[in-house]
Amino acid sequence: MPPSTTTRPPVLSSHPGFSAHWRRACQWLLMAICLAGTISSVAISPAVAQVDGAGAPRTVDDQDLATILRKLPPSDRVATLSTMMRTVGRANPDKIGALFLKTPDALPGPLSFQGGPEIDRLVWARFFTGAIIDVGNAASPRPIVGYYNPVLETWLITQWDATLPLPKVERSYLTQTGALKDPDAGLSATQPVPGWVTAWRSAGLVPAIQRETQRSVAAFENRYQPKGTDAITMPIPSLVAKVSARNLHTRAGIMAESLEKAIGTPKRQVLVDQVLEALRDSDKARLQAIPGSNGQDVLIDDVLALPQATRAVLLPSAAMSAPDGFAVLAVSAATPRIIVVIEIKGLAGSPRLARLATFDSIGGR
């Protein structure tokens, strides 16, 4: 199979508020937005395939949703809509309001304090592209759906009105694991930097992310029981929510900056792109031709064992620098709990692939 060609997306804006790492974020996220329309329906009803595929985020409306939902049992409708909301959010977050919100203020407002709506859109797209979904109080007429991004370590907690023929989000807020675990902790439970970023050097990259994700999911499910029937109105911790929104903006910038620092030269970018493109194309021979691919930590077969739909939309989300190298975390937009680690070493001489592996951020739950 001939190598695929990748057209590099242009910089979205020359706005003076855009730093170098935000311009880089624009490039990666524009690629995510372009790819999102090609993502296949994953683990949801076949009836939803028509709105979870190409072009759907731009064309679906309330009438389309109502038609689809009539084919589903009531218990599946919120789960279906919440998955669709993530699909729309990663491709075209501007459309969430019209499709999924009961009132315009049901979703947190602008996240940025200097970048304007364009950066807000990029932050939301980055968030939803890597967000896993958990459901609490599923048996309630007002279930809770949590969207959690393990790389950004941020929750969007949404409460849905399932009594409507077309369920909608009626309340939501952004928060972090500490505040979710201990609502009385206040601002002391919010941090601008994800916990795994400070822990990975001592704990290891994969264990650090898995530990934080498992703690976070456990905190959500302890507060909102998966099969719970609680229908009380979800409280909104306003100050924590505002600080968490600011921290999400900061964290998205940190991750974009980490990519800029690690893959900031054409030589490094080409090597990472070669790995990602070969994985998308299921091209084992091309992976084996990459320098370093015969190392014991380069688990080509393990990564190729992932479904092709998962590998087709692996998007670099963060990078960690190490002595004479760096490691890139590529998240699958189709299955966000799956992350592929691409580690490159030998930067002082000839860069080589030192590690290629995949892991489940929830730990195989």
Amino acid at 164: L
Among 232, 260, 288, residue at a domain's last position:
260
Q: Are 144 and 280 in the same domain?
A: no
Amino acid at 68: I
Number of domains forming the structure of the chain: 2
What is the residue range of 305's domain? 263-360
pLDDT of residue 183 exceeding 60, the answer is yes
Q: Are 234 and 299 in the same domain?
A: no
**What would the 3-class secondary structure string for 221-288 be?**
HHHCCCCCCCCCCCCCCHHHHHHHHHHHHHHHHHHHHHHHHHCCCHHHHHHHHHHHHHHHCCCHHHHH
Query: Bridge-partner residues for 318, per DSSP?
Result: 329
Q: Is 342 exposed, middle or buried (CB count within 10 Å of its CB: 0-12, 13-18, 19+)?
A: buried
* C-alpha to C-alpha distances, 100 to 83, 95, 136, 166, 323, nearest whole angstrom: 11, 9, 18, 9, 46
Q: Are 140 and 223 in the same domain?
A: yes
pLDDT of residue 51 exceeding 70, the answer is no
Amino acid at 130: G
Whether 304 is covered by a domain: the verdict is: yes
What backbone phi and psi angles, to 5 degrees, belong to 246? -65, -40
Whether 3 is covered by a domain: the verdict is: no
Answer yes or no: are the C-beta atoms of 125 and 89 closer than 8 Å.
yes
52 vs 27, higher pLDDT: 27
Distance in angstroms (rounded) separating the CA atoms of residues 318 and 149: 12
Q: Are 87 and 130 in the same domain?
A: yes
Q: Are 223 and 356 in the same domain?
A: no
Whether 331 is covered by a domain: the verdict is: yes
Parallel, antiparallel, or unpaired for β 132-136 and 144-149? antiparallel
Closest CA to 317 of 173, 164, 194, 192: 194
Q: Are 177 and 202 in the same domain?
A: yes
Q: Give residue 364's pLDDT.
A: 60
Q: Are 53 and 156 in the same domain?
A: yes
Whether 6 is covered by a domain: the verdict is: no
Q: How does 273-305 read in b/e, with b if 16+ C-beta sit within 10 Å?
A: bbbbbbbbbebeebbeebebbeeeebebeebbe
Whether 15 is covered by a domain: the verdict is: no
pLDDT of residue 56 exceeding 60, the answer is no
Q: Are 246 and 273 in the same domain?
A: no
Among 226, 260, 294, residue at a domain's last position:
260
Answer yes or no: are the C-beta atoms of 127 and 146 closer than 8 Å.
no
Reading the block at residue 56, the tokens are: 């759907």
Amino acid at 307: P
Q: Are 169 and 26 in the same domain?
A: yes
pLDDT tens for 116-138 read: 677 788 889 999 999 999 999 98
Q: What is the CATH number of the domain that holds 310?
A: 3.10.450.50
pLDDT tens for 232-269 read: 777 777 888 888 888 898 899 899 999 988 887 788 88
Q: Give the predicted TM-score (pTM) of the model.
A: 0.83
Q: Are 173 and 66 in the same domain?
A: yes
pLDDT tens for 305-340 read: 999 999 999 999 999 987 789 999 999 999 999 999
Distance in angstroms (rounded) separating the CA atoms of residues 209 and 196: 5
* C-alpha to C-alpha distances, 232 to 155, 207, 222, 224, nearest whole angstrom: 20, 36, 16, 11
207 vs 44, higher pLDDT: 207
pLDDT tens for 208-238 read: 999 999 999 999 999 898 888 887 777 777 8
Whether 199 is covered by a domain: the verdict is: yes
Distance in angstroms (rounded) separating the CA atoms of residues 318 and 300: 21
Among 260, 275, 304, residue at a domain's last position:
260
Whether 4 is covered by a domain: the verdict is: no
Q: What is the mean pLDDT of the chain?
A: 80
Q: Are 43 and 121 in the same domain?
A: yes
Whether 12 is covered by a domain: the verdict is: no
Q: Are 271 and 309 in the same domain?
A: yes
